[in-house]
């Protein structure tokens, strides 16, 4: 297959012919003489996205999401690789549970995928299946905060594994909160900073701080040399947004000061990774008293489209978006994706800057059926390729269950 059009190469948009053979890019050329049919595109050809932080709730809570609906939603938003977190019910803290989850994902996933294990006393055995591990310094869905597992962390880091940390210090939590402003106060920014600073007592090695929500947290993580992840909801919302329990998330939405500071860090390309932290709950589960509502919201399908609209509005550089959504997260996972380059997988998202629209719940694909970004302007990809095959064609999902591959087998 050959795709031709304005192509993102090393920070620039240039006219190129992209030849694809056996799922990989075989050449990227200025001109091409061929009798083969060419797929021409007059928008922009970008590397598709890699989301290193999703919660597809499978197994255990598949009424909210599962690997089929989650990866379908991802694909329709231009994401062709996901890394799913281990706080399932029950948590993925053993070799047997991780193996079973890989079995489930292999039958359902439409995009490529990786799975995190929960750092535990079973870590060494689990490393036969994955090099990605999550550490919760505060409790979350299905898991309690980590105890003393620094030896296990050392095992992962010594083997060039990847440790991602949820950084909140439960000792500084004050209560449940009655609304978003109160929730922000009950889980204060200091809890994030203290948790990040505590990572200095863990074994040396690459550490990744998930969903940083405060300016002080960002600065603490950077000063200690950790990679930093930020979510779209922490960039777009403050605790004053009128979402009620639908905006309840951990760490909380913050005030104007932190919101504007994170936005500035993002626009300066100082953040390493943009990840959705897609953590859906059903509408009925959210439509309860705020203090009892579960924390988490969907976002894997809207992340890239929101950022593309930001580029179209002149608010964000295209290179910043591609770096944070595609190139850097692919590098973290150690996969040859995230660049349109010979030898890399042909994972592509074809956008048209003229196709701006309002996000509508009824057009999204997550099983949960709602989005906090409904009504926001966005640019969705018209076509999406994973390993050279259409997943989305003319905005219609045409992928199938089980087409996705475990990235460790690519």
DSSP state of 253: P
> Based on the structure, what is the number of domains in the chain?
1
User: Would you put residue 269 in left (φ > 0), alpha (ψ -120 to 50) or beta?
Assistant: left
Task: Say which residues have a Cβ less than 8 Å from residue 271's Cβ, sequence separation at least 6.
Answer: 212, 218, 228, 229, 230, 262, 265, 324
The verdict on residue 402 lying in a domain is no
The verdict on residue 83 lying in a domain is yes
The verdict on residue 263 lying in a domain is yes
142 pLDDT tier (thresholds 50, 70, 90): low
The verdict on residue 12 lying in a domain is no
The verdict on residue 170 lying in a domain is yes
- Calculate mean pLDDT across residues 275-301: 97
The verdict on residue 359 lying in a domain is no
Number of H helices, E strands in the chain: 13, 20
- Residues with active-site annotation: 277
The verdict on residue 233 lying in a domain is yes
Nearest one of 210, 343, 369, 375 to 282, comparing CA atoms: 369
Q: Are 296 and 87 in contact (CB under 8 A)?
A: no
pTM beyond 0.85: yes
Q: Does the pLDDT at position 144 exceed 80?
A: no
Chain position carrying tokens 């609304």: 179
Tell me the H-state helices in 39-118: 67-76, 95-108
183 pLDDT tier (thresholds 50, 70, 90): very high
| 38-76 tens-digit pLDDT | 999 999 999 999 999 999 999 999 999 999 999 999 999
Q: What local confidence, expressed as pLDDT, does residue 99 receive? A: 98
Q: Are 326 and 386 in contact (CB under 8 A)?
A: no
| 215-242 tens-digit pLDDT | 999 999 999 999 999 999 999 999 999 9
Instruction: Calculate what percentage of the chain has a pLDDT beyond 70.
Output: 99
User: CATH code at 234?
Assistant: 3.20.20.140
| 321-354 tens-digit pLDDT | 999 999 999 999 999 999 999 999 999 999 999 9
Residue 165: in which H helix or E strand, if any?
A: strand 162-166
Q: What local confidence, expressed as pLDDT, does residue 141 receive? A: 64
Q: Whole domain around residue 66: which residue ranges?
A: 49-333
Q: What local confidence, expressed as pLDDT, does residue 119 receive? A: 95
147 pLDDT tier (thresholds 50, 70, 90): low
The verdict on residue 19 lying in a domain is no
| 166-177 tens-digit pLDDT | 999 989 999 889
Q: Output the six-digit token pair for 314.
A: 């002149």
Summary mean pLDDT of the chain: 96
């Amino acid at each position: 297959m050959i795709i031709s059009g304005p192509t993102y190469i090393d920070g620039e948009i240039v006219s190129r012919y992209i030849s694809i053979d056996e799922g990989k890019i075989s050449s990227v050329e200025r001109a091409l003489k061929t009798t083969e049919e060419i797929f021409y595109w007059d928008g922009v050809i970008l590397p598709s996205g890699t989301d290193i932080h999703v919660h597809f709730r499978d197994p255990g809570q598949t009424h909210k999401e599962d690997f089929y609906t989650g990866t379908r939603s991802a694909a329709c938003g231009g994401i062709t690789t996901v890394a799913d977190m281990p706080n399932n019910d029950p948590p993925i803290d053993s070799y047997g549970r991780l193996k079973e989850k890989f079995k489930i994902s292999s039958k359902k996933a439409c995009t490529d995928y990786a799975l995190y294990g929960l750092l535990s006393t079973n870590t060494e055995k689990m490393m036969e299946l994955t090099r990605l591990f999550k550490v919760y310094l505060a409790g979350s869905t299905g898991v309690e905060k980590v105890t003393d597992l620094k030896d296990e962390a050392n095992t992962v880091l010594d083997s060039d594994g990847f440790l991602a940390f949820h950084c909140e210090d439960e000792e500084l939590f004050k209560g449940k909160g009655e609304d978003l402003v109160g929730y922000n106060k009950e889980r204060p920014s200091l809890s994030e900073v203290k948790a990040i600073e505590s990572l200095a007592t863990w074994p040396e090695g690459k550490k990744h701080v998930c969903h940083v929500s405060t300016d002080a947290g960002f600065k603490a993580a950077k000063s200690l040399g950790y990679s930093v992840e930020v979510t779209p909801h922490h960039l777009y919302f403050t605790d004053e947004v009128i979402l009620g329990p639908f905006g309840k998330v951990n760490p909380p939405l913050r005030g104007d000061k932190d919101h504007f500071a994170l936005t500035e860090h993002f626009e300066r390309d100082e953040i390493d990774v943009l990840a959705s932290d897609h953590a859906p709950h059903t509408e009925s589960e959210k439509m309860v008293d705020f203090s009892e509502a579960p924390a988490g919201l969907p976002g894997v399908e809207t992340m890239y489209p929101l950022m593309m609209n930001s580029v179209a509005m002149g608010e964000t550089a295209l290179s910043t978006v591609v770096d944070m959504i595609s190139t850097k997260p692919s590098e973290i996972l150690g996969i040859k994706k995230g660049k349109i380059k010979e030898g890399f997988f042909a994972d592509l998202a074809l956008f048209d800057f003229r196709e701006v629209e309002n996000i509508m719940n009824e057009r999204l694909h997550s099983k949960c059926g709602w989005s906090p970004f409904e009504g926001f302007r966005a640019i969705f990809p018209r076509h999406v390729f994973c390993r050279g095959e259409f997943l989305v064609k003319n905005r219609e999902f045409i992928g199938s269950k089980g087409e996705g591959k475990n990235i460790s087998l690519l």
